């Protein structure tokens, strides 16, 4: 089954709140004096702080009603038992840093660009983008922190599952449906919109898996999320986790006298390393008695983009995708 309607509605409501908060900060940013950016921002940052803290408070206040509607009160005699204090969550970002200091980042971004000789309008757009990321992330993070705290306060909640929408980034899609303990921190990135749903003995939701989410995406969405070569590799049967994780170590390397797009991911541990070890053992280059411990592949692991560039046809591409650990 899908995530419960309450969990999806809660996640989407927080997304709308984060967006509305960011747009409100944009209006303050437009009031900057272009001839005196720094001092002007010092006079406006307080207004932005109030806006973001208000969004955070609203996000935290949404937790109690959502959890009660989903699971019911933890204690019928004391329905407010374990109730979180929404005001306690405001004024910091997801890393616990005071928002007052974090809010200097947008103006530093703009000033660095101006100092480097970039047009003032370009600098202002870059500063606003930084402010947008701060506002959206601060609201979403505090909302998730409130959710996590409220779930921890309920003894019946044993953990949570990650709720991910089809339009999420590739890093979030591969985590879709994972179950975590109630005290496990939520993995997220700036502007992350993912949510969580509690797990109890009676309430065990099963959200869409990564493969199910990808199956629901259009070809255009896949290309946007995974890139042209990534979408093609998925269509050819590439493992989604291997594909996404490979991008963490992506680099340009010298291969056969030219430059190629490679990755270091999977060369220290992972499927590519295991396959190379087995291949070399089968070829007699490594004794059968040797353990994989300490083994480091000498073969360069290619990214799907490079594989499609080199492959003669689809059969060859599939062979290379399998050789480089993208297809089981």
* SS3 of residue 198 by DSSP: strand
C-alpha torsion angle, residues 189, 101, 132, 163 (rounded to 10): 30
> What is the model's pTM?
0.71
Confidence (pLDDT) at 1:
38
pLDDT string in tens for the chain (328-residue length): 346 788 888 989 999 999 999 999 999 999 999 999 999 999 999 999 999 999 999 999 999 899 888 888 765 545 555 578 888 889 888 777 889 999 999 999 999 999 999 999 999 999 999 999 999 999 999 898 888 888 888 888 888 888 887 567 877 888 887 888 876 777 777 778 888 889 888 888 876 778 888 888 888 888 887 888 888 888 888 777 777 766 555 444 444 445 555 666 656 666 677 878 888 888 888 888 888 887 877 677 776 667 777 777 777 877 777 777 666 5
pLDDT score of 24: 98
**CA 255, 261, 263, 267 torsion: positive or negative?**
negative
Query: Residue 321: which H helix or E strand, with range?
Result: helix 314-323
Q: How far apart are CA 176 and CA 124, in angstroms?
A: 36
Residues with Cβ < 8 Å from 170, sequence gap 6 or more?
Answer: 225, 226, 230, 243, 244, 247
- The pLDDT assigned to 101 comes to 93
- Specify whether the CB–CB gap between 33 and 40 falls below 8 A: yes
């Amino acid at each position: 089954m899908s995530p419960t309607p309450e969990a999806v509605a809660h996640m989407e409501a927080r997304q709308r709140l984060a967006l509305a908060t960011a747009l409100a900060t944009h209006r303050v940013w437009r009031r900057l004096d272009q001839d005196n950016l720094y001092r002007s921002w010092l006079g406006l940052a307080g207004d932005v702080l109030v806006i973001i803290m208000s969004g955070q408070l609203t996000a935290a206040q949404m937790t109690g009603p959502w959890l009660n509607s989903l699971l019911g009160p933890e204690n019928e005699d004391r329905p407010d038992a374990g109730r979180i204090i929404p005001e306690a969550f405001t004024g910091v970002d997801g890393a616990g840093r005071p928002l007052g200091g974090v809010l200097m980042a947008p103006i530093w971004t703009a000033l660095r660009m101006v100092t480097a000789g970039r047009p003032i309008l370009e600098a202002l757009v870059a500063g606003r983008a930084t402010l947008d990321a701060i506002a959206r992330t601060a609201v979403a993070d505090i909302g998730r922190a409130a959710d996590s705290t409220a779930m921890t306060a309920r003894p019946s909640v044993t953990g949570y599952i990650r709720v991910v929408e089809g339009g999420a980034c590739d890093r979030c899609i591969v985590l879709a449906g994972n179950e975590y303990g109630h005290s496990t921190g939520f993995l997220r990135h700036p502007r992350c919109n993912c949510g969580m749903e509690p797990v109890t003995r009676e309430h065990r939701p099963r959200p869409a898996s990564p493969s199910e989410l990808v199956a629901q995406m259009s070809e255009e969405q896949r290309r946007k999320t995974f890139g042209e070569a990534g979408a093609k590799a998925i269509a050819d049967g590439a493992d989604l986790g291997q594909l996404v994780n490979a991008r963490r170590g992506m680099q340009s390397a010298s291969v056969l006298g030219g430059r190629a797009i490679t990755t270091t991911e999977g060369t220290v541990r992972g499927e590519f390393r295991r396959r190379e070890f087995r291949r070399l053992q089968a070829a007699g280059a490594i004794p059968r008695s040797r353990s994989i411990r300490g083994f480091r592949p000498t073969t360069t692991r290619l990214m799907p983009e490079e594989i499609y560039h080199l492959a003669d046809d689809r059969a060859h591409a599939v062979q290379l995708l399998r050789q480089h650990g993208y297809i089981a």
